[in-house]
Amino acid sequence: MIERDLTVSNRLGLHARATAKLVQLLSGYRSSATLIAKGREVNAKSIMGVMLLAAGQGTQIRLRVEGEDEARVADAVAALFERSFDEDQ
């Protein structure tokens, strides 16, 4: 299991488009992924779950990944967060 702390840096936070990008990215991997923020723990492969976090800009999120490709998943998700979901360019 791998855990990483991430910060939502894009201006609009984890809104529908950013959440869809995250879920689409994760759908290509076998590992399970969980996001933890604001006292909630959700399946990161679920659009509704991620949207329930209501994570705005600056929100601290912990990513937990477990499975055969967990290192690649953690790196890919961290890169997506670091790129601000390719929105703030």
Q: Which structural domains are found in the chain, ordered by start? A: 2-86 (3.30.1340.10)
- Average pLDDT, integer, range 68-80: 98
| Cβ-based burial of 84 (10 A; exposed 0-12, middle 13-18, buried ≥19) | middle
Q: Which two tokens stand for residue 60?
A: 């601290």
**pLDDT tier, 77 (very low <50, low <70, confident <90, very high otherwise):** very high
Catalytic annotation on 41?
Answer: no
Amino acid (1-letter code) at residue 88: D
Which pTM does this prediction carry?
0.93
Amino acid (1-letter code) at residue 10: N
Q: Which of 15, 21, 64, 83 is catalytic?
A: 15
CA distance 69 to 50: 21
pLDDT digits (tens, 9 = 90+) for 1-50: 999 999 999 999 999 999 999 999 999 999 999 999 999 999 999 999 99
Strand partners, 28: none
